[in-house]
Each structure stands twice: as C-alpha cells, then as structure tokens.
C-alpha cells in the first residue's frame, strides 16, 4: 500500500507529493497559516487512480484545509482553488478553516455554540494528514458512534443531487458510472452509521459492511444488492468503474430506493407510495423542524434564524427570493431543496403522469426563489441544482 493510494506504486506517490509540495508553497506565500491539512481520499491514503493504457490517470481530487485566523482568508482560499487547479493541472479545492472550528469540532466557521458530531468533524481529524504547520488533529477527536443518523441521510440526499449535474460530453459514460458508485457508497455508509460501525477508511468500511452488518435487519435487500454495496468500496479504491458497464442500472436504482425509503422512514417518520407524494410528505414531517440545522446561535435553534441567513446570502448573490417564500419560514429552506431531489433522481423510472406532476411541483418551488421555471426536465434539474447549491452548500452558481 502506498502513501496516498492503496496501490504500492512509487511513481504515483511521487506525482502526488510533487503536486502537494507545490500547493503548500503557494498557500504559504498567500496565507499566514497555522496548519495545512490534506483531507478526503488522499488524506486517508486512499486516492483513486484509473488504469488506462498501462498508465494511471488521476481520479480523486485534492481537498486541502488551511487553518488560519482572519476572515479575509476565505476569499484568498477561493482564489487559491482556481489558481492551483489551473497551475498544477489537477482538481484542487482549498478551504479556509478557523482555529476555533478545528479545536471545538464545529461544523462551520460561523457556527455559534456546540455542533453535533458529524462525518465532517470525525473524518477531518481521524482521516487526514498534516502537510505543514502545527498538529491540530490529535486533540478532541469525534467518536464515530455518536454521529447522528441524519448525517447519513443528508449524504444520500447530496449524492443524489450531485448525480443530477450535467454529464461532461467527453466522458459521459465514466461520469455516470462514478456517480452510480458514489451513491451506492452513500447507501453503504448509511447502513454503517445505522449500526454504529462507521469508519473513515473506505477499506475498513467495505470490510465491516461485508462481515459485521446483519442484513437480516434490511430484508428489502437481496444477496445481489448486498454484494453490490460491499463491492462499491473496492470499485472506489481501485477505480474500476467499468464494473457498471453494460449492466442494467435499474438494479442499482432499486437498491438506492430501498435504502432511501428505509432511511427517510426511520429518521423522519415519512412514508410514501409514489415520488409525486414525497415533497409534501417530507415537508409536513414533524421531525423536519429539528433536523440538520446548519446555523444556530448558541441555544437558539429555529428555522427562521437559518432562513434569515439564507435570505441575506441570496440577496448578496442577486438571487432574492419572492415574498411568498416567507410563508415557508417554519421550515429551514435547505429542506425545500432536499424535498425535490429524490423525485428528480428517480425521474426516469416514473410514469408520464408522475413526471408531469413532479415538474409542476418543482417549478412552483423554483418560483418561490425567483428561479426561472422550465418545461424540460434538464431545465428544471438545473434550477433545482442552483437552489441546492445555494441553500445546502452556501455557494452561488
């Protein structure tokens, strides 16, 4: 096993190290850092390379956190992301993190009070490497058995949403296969969180799913589906996405649908027969009022507080919502985006009547945020994805 991948390949490790060394030099020129952290797949030593014509092509992206005080560094890191990606010909993201966020395991730089244990806070300290500066990872670790199950459902929502992003024309087949695998991984991760078995390493998660999860508790999954979930971890590590070539993807959608229905019923107490019902059933769930608050002020936690922050961000980006959305203040607006994701994800498997109902509902929601409605599925998907980026990731697109 290599330093940055599961492959014992000195050439790959040398290539990755060269990219990281160059990135660290540029970051240190621009920011007075406390520490520079390598997170994500490379931070875990599980970066993915795809074998092509007896050579290896980089598949995983480089996720780097810069620990430093000073709000100005947020914009500096955004500029570094663009500069380094172009300069080093690699997909590099540079995120600014405050020292307090690292020390207190907060889920965001602007979070006040205590944050709940999350996948992010756990993996940041347990599955990352210090590239430069002080060791800020060894203290106050997150216990993975304390991670909220909502984190697994949120991951599944986000993987579905990311799967809707328009495929690049030059490599659409590989892109589709990668996102089938990523969504299956999110399903496996949910089951591991459900059983208090989650681990930062893909290798260990795959092993635990195969050997420690009692699938008798998930009777909706047959033996083939169970094998698909366990195999997804090996596919990710080895970059063998062509595993999904020439296979009926309906089989994988059924697996994802089964786990999603189990998750939404278990956490939100929401059941539905058709995905046309899902948005209204989800938004009327009582549990939605107390799940996944991104923003809170110490002990004050309320959807209206979050929505005021969302409104300020949207106005700043020139995307001011309509006054009709004020009536939705009782629900944190990121849930409005999440309510639209599953129906669009399973859109191709639905009847014509169901599709029309979903498009109509999505357009009504888009109008609340002054997003342009669309008649085609692609236009509607793009509008919902913009809403999802704005509300769930705090990014303007």
- pLDDT mean for each 10 residues of the chain (397 residues): 80 90 96 96 86 65 94 94 93 94 84 77 94 94 93 96 83 84 97 97 96 95 95 90 86 96 93 94 80 56 78 84 82 91 95 94 93 90 93 74
**Residue 65 is assigned to a structural domain of this protein:** yes
Q: Which domain holds residue 397?
A: 295-397
Q: Using the structure block, give the residue that is written with the tokens 């997150």.
A: 142
pTM of the model: 0.91
Q: Which residue has 């690049």 as its token pair?
A: 168
In the structure encoding, which two tokens stand for residue 119, read together? 């996948």
Query: Do 35 and 127 belong to one domain?
Result: yes
Is 288 a domain residue? no
Range 254-272 burial, b when 16+ CB lie within 10 A, else e: bbbbbbbbbbbeebbebeb
Classify 39 as helix, strand or coil. strand
> Cα(37)–Cα(97) distance, rounded to whole angstroms?
10
pLDDT at 292: 57
Same domain? 155 vs 265: yes
What pLDDT, on the 0 to 100 scale, is given for residue 397?
57
Asked if 88 and 187 sit in the same domain, the reply is no
Helix, coil or strand: residue 333: coil
Q: Where are the beta strands (DSSP E) in the chain?
A: 35-39, 49-52, 55-58, 62-67, 92-97, 129-133
Q: Where among 242, 273, 304 does a domain terminate?
A: 273
Q: Which pLDDT score, from 0 to 100, does residue 360 have?
A: 95
Q: Is 119 exposed, middle or buried (0-12, 13-18, 19+ CB in 10 A)?
A: buried
User: Does 155 lie in the same domain as 127?
Assistant: no
184 and 234 housed in the same domain: yes
207 falls within a domain: yes
Phi, psi angles (nearest 5°) of residue 109: -70, -30
Residues whose CB falls within 8 Å of the CB of residue 208, separated by 6 or more in sequence, listed in order: 192, 197, 199
Residue with tokens 């330093």: 3
| DSSP 8-class letter at 127 | S
Asked if residue 236 and residue 333 are part of one domain, the reply reads no
Question: Tell me, what CATH number does 66's domain have?
Answer: 3.30.460
Residue 38 lies in a domain: yes
CA atoms within 13 A on the CB side of 64: 30
The verdict on residue 195 lying in a domain is yes
Residue 281 lies in a domain: no
Residues 112, 207 within the same domain: no
Same domain, 263 and 322: no
Claim to verify: residue 142 and residue 30 sit in the same structural domain: yes
The predicted structure's pLDDT at residue 330: 81
Query: Which of the 8 DSSP states describes residue 115?
Result: P
Q: Which two tokens stand for residue 76?
A: 């500096």
Residue 290 domain-assigned (yes or no):
no
Q: In angstroms, what CA-CA distances link 125 with 46, 101, 115, 352?
A: 16, 12, 15, 47
Residue 120 phi/psi, 5-degree rounding, is -60, -50
Q: Both 41 and 115 in a single domain?
A: yes
Place of tokens 């971890």: 233
Residue 97 has what pLDDT?
94
pLDDT of residue 291: 55
Give me the number of domains the chain comprises: 3
User: How far apart, in whole angstroms, are the C-alpha atoms of residue 153 and residue 288?
Assistant: 12
179 and 219 co-located in one domain: yes
Q: Are strands 62-67 and 92-97 parallel, antiparallel or unpaired?
A: parallel
* Together in a domain, 118 and 197: no
pLDDT score of 44: 93
């Amino acid at each position: 096993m290599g330093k940055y991948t599961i492959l014992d390949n000195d050439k790959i490790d040398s290539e990755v190290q060269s990219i990281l060394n160059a990135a660290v030099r540029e970051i240190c020129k621009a920011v007075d850092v406390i520490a520079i952290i390598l997170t994500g797949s490379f931070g875990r030593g599980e970066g993915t390379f795809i074998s092509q014509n007896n050579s290896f092509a980089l598949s995983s992206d480089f996720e780097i956190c810069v620990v430093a005080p000073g709000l100005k560094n947020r914009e500096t890191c955004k500029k570094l992301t663009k500069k380094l990606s172009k300069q080093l010909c690699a997909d590099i993201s540079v995120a600014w993190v405050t020292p307090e966020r690292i020390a207190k395991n907060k889920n965001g730089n602007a979070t006040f009070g205590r944050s709940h244990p999350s996948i992010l806070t756990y993996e940041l300290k347990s599955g990352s490497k210090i590239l430069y500066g002080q060791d800020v990872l060894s203290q106050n670790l997150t216990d993975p058995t304390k991670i909220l199950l909502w984190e697994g459902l949120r991951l599944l929502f986000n993987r579905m949403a990311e799967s809707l992003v328009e495929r690049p024309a030059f490599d659409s087949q590989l892109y589709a296969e990668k996102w089938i695998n990523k969504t299956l991984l999110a399903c496996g991760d949910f089951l591991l969180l459900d059983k208090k078995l989650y681990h930062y390493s893909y290798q260990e998660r795959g092993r635990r799913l195969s050997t420690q999860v009692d699938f008798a508790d998930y009777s909706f999954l047959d033996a083939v589906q169970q094998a698909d979930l366990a195999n997804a971890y090996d596919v990710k590590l080895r970059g063998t996405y062509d595993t999904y070539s020439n296979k009926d993807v309906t089989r994988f959608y059924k697996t994802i649908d089964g786990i999603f229905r189990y998750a939404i019923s278990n956490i939100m107490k929401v059941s539905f027969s058709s995905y046309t019902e899902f948005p209204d059933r989800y938004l009327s769930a009582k549990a939605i009022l107390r799940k996944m608050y991104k923003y809170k002020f110490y002990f004050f936690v309320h959807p209206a507080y979050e929505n005021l922050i969302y409104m300020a961000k949207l106005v700043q980006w020139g995307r001011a919502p309509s006054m009709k959305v004020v009536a939705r203040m009782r629900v944190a607006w990121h849930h409005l985006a999440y309510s639209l994701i599953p129906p669009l994800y399973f859109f191709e498997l639905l009847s014509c009547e169901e599709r029309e109902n979903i498009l109509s509902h999505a357009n009504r929601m888009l109008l609340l945020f002054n997003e342009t409605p669309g008649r085609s599925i692609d236009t509607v998907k793009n509008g919902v994805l913009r809403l999802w980026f704005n509300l769930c990731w705090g990014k303007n697109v």
